[in-house]
Structure formats: C-alpha cells, structure tokens
Amino acid sequence: MTPAPDQPPSTERPPTKFGVEHRSIGFVPTTERYGRPLNQFTLWFGSNLQVTAVVTGALAVVLGGDVMWSIIGLLVGQVLGGVVMALHSVQGPRLGLPQMISSRAQFGVYGAMIPLVLVVVMYTGFAAGGSVLAGQAVAGIIHSSHWLGIVIFGAATAVIAIIGYRLIHVMGRLSSIIGFLAFAYLTYRLLAGADLGILFSHSSFSLAGFLLAMSLSASWQIAYGPYVADYSRYLPAETAAWKTFGATFSGSVIASQWSMTFGVFAAALAGPAFVDNEVGFIVRLGGAGVVATVLYCVIALGKLTVNVLNAYGGFMSLVTTVTGFLGHREIPQRARVACVAVIMLCATVIALLASDNFLTSFSTFLLFLLAFFTPWSAINLVDFYCVTKENYDVPALTDPDGRYGRWNTVALTTYAVGLIAQLPFLYTSFYSGPMVAVLGHTDISWIVGLIVPGAIYYVWARRDRSMAPDRLILPGDECAPNDQHTVVESADVDGILTHEPARQA
C-alpha cells in the first residue's frame, strides 16, 4: 500500500482550561488532538493500583490456590489479557473514536447494539462493585455509615465523568503518584514481619488453582477492552502504535500484578481478618490516626479513578446505543448529564443492596460477563488488524444505509457461535459446563472465547471484503456544513511493532 503523505502534526491544541467535554462519540478532529502515550501509562497504572484489584488477587488464595502458583498464574493471565486490552487502545488515535462505536464496522449500525447493551450492564455492575469498597473508605474518612459513603462516592463519580476526558487523565496522573507511594508503604508493612519462606515452602502445583488465577487476571484485563480506546482517542493521529500499546500494556499489567500480588499475600497471611473487611484490614495495616485517614483517602482516590472510567465508558456505550437508532453523532450537554446520572444512580442502588457477601458475588459477576465480551473482543481485533487492515469508513459508522448496513450476519453469527462454544467451559455459581469438572472446576471459557470466534471470523470475513475500504476514510471536519470527508491512505502495516499510523492528508 502507498504510505500517506507526510504532514507535520497540527500545532493547534484545545484550550487548557477545564470544562465539560463537548464531544461524546463523535470523531475527534486533528486540531483537537493532544497528549502523549505516557498519559496512557499513568491512567492505567493509577486505575489498577487499587483495592478491587487487591480483592481480585486475594480470590486466587481464598478459592483454594497456593501463594507461589497463584502469583505466577495471575502474571500469565495479566500478560495475555493485557495484550488484548492494549491492542484495543491502539484503535483510539487511529480512528479518533471511542471504542464501541467501531463495533458497527463488524456488527452493523444496529447489530452493534447487542454487545453494547451488555457493555452498559457490565460497567454499571463494575461501578456498583467499586462503590461498595469505596463506600467503606469514604465512611472511614467522614466517620459515617457505609451507605452514606456509597452515596457520596457515587455523586463524586458522576460529576467527574460528566466533566470528562481531560479531568479523567489528570486523576490518572494523581492516582499514579499517590497510589505508588501508598502501595510501596503498605507492601512493606505487610511483608516486613512475614515469614515468606514458609508461605512459599508449601507450594504445590494445582492445574485448577493455576487456571483460576489466570482467569481472574485475564478477565480483569479483557474487561477493559470495550472502553480502553475511549481514553486514547484524543492522542495525535501520528502517535506510533507501539508507543500507545506499550504505555497502556505496561501501566495496566504492572499495577494490576502489584495489587493482586498484594492481595495474595494479604489473604494468605491474614485469612479471615482480610476477607469481607478488605478496606479495614488495609487501613489497620498502615497505622492509626492521621495515617489511617490518609490511607482511607488513598483508597477512595484509587477507586474513584477507576469508577469514573466505568461511568464514562458506560455513558459512551449508552450514547452509542441510542444514537445508532437516531442517527446522531453527538448529543447535547443535558443528555450527557442525564446519561451519566442514570448509570451512577443504578450503580449506587445496586451497591446499597448488594454490599453483603461482596467477594463471592464479584467473582461470579466478573467471570460470567467475561463470556460475553471475549468473542466481541476477538471479532473486533481480528477485523481491525487482519481483515480491514485498520481501514474503516468512519462517516459510514453513523449511517444504517451506508457501507456497514444495519445488521452484519457474519459477525453476529460468529458472536453467537463464540458464546455457545464457551458454555461447556463456563463455571459460575448458577451454571457449570460439562468440561468444568474435567478441568478441576476451573473456568477457561475466556481462552475458547478468544480463539474460536477469532478464527471463524477471520476465515469468513476475508471471503467478502466489500465492506472494507481500501483506505481509512475520516470526516474532514465535524463542524463543516457540507460534512466533507478526508481520505487517508493506509500505511504499510506489518503489526503494531513496525507500524507508524498514516497521517491525515
């Protein structure tokens, strides 16, 4: 393919003052692009160095694993899931769009609403789960009841999600610095008097325990897939793909593994003192008085950062769903406020009703919803990197009568097959597939959910390339009255490690 003509990146940048973000799912023009890949590292590092990741890591031990193999299994899962997650992040600067709207290129403008509705449900659930733990921290800061802490936390989440992208990245940088210092101190306090030799000396490999740890961490990473490009879409289009990938991958994997390893040690060393009282245990570990108050604030900040991602990503998915039928590219500010408010209201109500037995409920929720998003992730990535070679017709993503149509039988059928293929390997409290017992009561449906639909879609979609343009087609200027289109020639693509994205012509 012929590379796009070189053109210096635009020096025009958006104003630095904070205000409510005026874009939602619409294409971000070149003149509004800004930021560096380092911002992706700090966002995902700060978002993952937090108490829910600690709880997730602890599950590997609580549910029967030993310390050493739980840590190794978590690391393997982080790497595998992190690759999937970071590949989605690369789509942001390339397309200038939030994550889920690109699903219309595979599923059709209306067909994309099937995974979209599930995404909204998933991130509302994650926001609810985060509110349960953060409510404990907020209540500890203001010395109030748990329910009031949940309500205050939900309101703060909604306000920041409404303001949007720029403030979210500022929070990521703040959470990275504060979280690093706090977790370094807490890790020292946890391990200073521990006899790690005893913990590791009793190691005994169990395939079931190892696969469980892998599933927990892989599902944690893959669950970010439906919104990871939401937070990279403002990066300049000329940003090297490997830089976006590397910053996202390293930030998410390093912080997640640190948090989950902390959870493994906490569960192994403290046992019942940690389970069902995670926030209280962490604070007592750090100290009392002023130190305890500071740690409550750190926990609340970490949870606030990731909960804002859930609310913002849920908002983006909800808007993408609604505008698919209405044919709109943007929504008014009033609608933005209303959508975020509805999502956080639902999350807060769920948090207030589901705070008991949170550890078990969260595990079930995490592993069950993973079954619905691994096939979507496989289809989206295979289409973007292997079928269309990163060439999309962005204006057609909002036109049901355009290139991508209303429903895409190939993607929808593949998605259904991917879901069905996972059922024999799916293990939850309310359903257990026939292969689960053979594998020692372990869920490996996420592996099947990536491989099977990915292979089917690759073979099937390549037979008909009529929907794939020969080059990336972008709106020239969303504000232009005639909605002019800019055509960008595709760069030579051999993979993200050698790919420099095409610049706008």
Residues 6+ apart with CB under 8 A from 494: none
Residue 32 lies in a domain: no
Please, is 354 exposed, middle or buried when counting C-beta atoms within 10 Å of its C-beta (0-12, 13-18, 19+)?
A: middle
- Please name which of 343, 288, 351 lies closest in space to residue 135, comparing C-alpha atoms: 351
- What mean pLDDT value characterizes the chain? 84
The answer to whether residue 495 scores a pLDDT higher than 80 is no
Alpha-carbon separation of residue 467 from 108, 267, 353, 384, 402 (angstroms): 10, 51, 46, 12, 10
Give the mean pLDDT of 222-241.
93
Give the mean pLDDT of 106-119.
90
Residue 441 lies in a domain: no
Residue 418 lies in a domain: no
pLDDT for 363 equals 57
Inter-residue contact 269 to 256 (CB < 8 Å): no
Give the mean pLDDT of 433-449.
85
Strands (E), 131-254: none
- pLDDT tens column, 58-77: 989 988 888 999 999 999 99
- pLDDT tens column, 149-191: 899 999 999 999 999 999 999 999 999 999 999 999 999 999 9
Residue 307 lies in a domain: yes
Split into its structural domains, the chain has a count of 1
Instruction: List, in sequence order, the alpha helices (H) in 192-289.
Output: 196-201, 207-222, 241-270, 278-286
Residue 111 lies in a domain: yes
pLDDT for 484 equals 43
pLDDT for 173 equals 95
Residue 489 lies in a domain: no
Angle, helices 165-191 vs 278-286, to 10°: value is: 70
- Residue 7's pLDDT band (cuts 50, 70, 90): very low
- Residue 284's pLDDT band (cuts 50, 70, 90): confident
pTM: 0.86
pLDDT for 441 equals 77
- Residue 8's pLDDT band (cuts 50, 70, 90): very low
3-class state of residue 284 by DSSP:
helix
The answer to whether residue 194 scores a pLDDT higher than 60 is yes
How many CB atoms are located within 10 Å of the residue 19 CB?
A: 11
Residue 424 lies in a domain: no
Q: Which residue has the higher pLDDT, 493 or 355?
A: 355
| Cα(133)–Cα(185) distance, integer angstroms | 20
Q: Which residue has the higher pLDDT, 414 or 368?
A: 414
pLDDT for 3 equals 41
The answer to whether residue 127 scores a pLDDT higher than 90 is no
- pLDDT tens column, 305-348: 999 999 999 999 988 888 877 766 677 888 889 999 999 999 89
| Cα(157)–Cα(303) distance, integer angstroms | 10
We report the CATH number of the domain holding residue 141 as 1.10.4160.10
pLDDT for 362 equals 62
Six token digits for residue 99: 């994550």
Q: Residue count of the chain, please give it.
A: 505
Q: State which residues form the domain around 55.
A: 38-373
Which span out of 257-271, 341-355, 358-372, 436-450 was modeled with the highest average pLDDT? 257-271
Residue 5 lies in a domain: no
pLDDT for 369 equals 72
